[in-house]
């Protein structure tokens, strides 16, 4: 399965984002991903053992799909479809 990586590149060139993994019976699971430099693949870290949305019972057979992130005027938001 691909991670369907969705990231924001911050003004300091770091990255914050969402990656996904297969979750078996719970469907697709989202995890936080970050990097100190978006241009250097060796700095990317995925928190694969921590669920970004811990309550997988909300979507017990589907999980989350196709994450995307965006900036608004004040803060960043995360959304999943």
pLDDT at 73: 66
Q: What are phi and psi of 22, to 5 degrees?
A: -75, 140
Element (DSSP H or E) covering residue 46: strand 45-46
Give the pLDDT band (50/70/90) at residue 74.
low
Q: pLDDT tens, 2-29? A: 788 999 999 899 999 999 887 666 677 8
Q: Is the pTM of this model over 0.85?
A: no
Of residues 67, 63, 53, 79, the one with CA closest to residue 28: 63
């Amino acid at each position: 399965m691909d991670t369907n990586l969705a990231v924001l590149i911050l003004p300091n060139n770091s990255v914050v984002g969402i990656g996904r993994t297969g979750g078996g019976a719970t469907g697709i699971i989202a995890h936080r991903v970050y990097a100190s430099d978006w241009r250097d693949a060796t700095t990317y870290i995925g928190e694969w053992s921590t669920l970004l949305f811990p309550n997988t019972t909300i979507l017990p057979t589907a999980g989350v799909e196709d994450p995307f992130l965006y900036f608004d005027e004040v803060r960043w938001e995360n959304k999943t479809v």
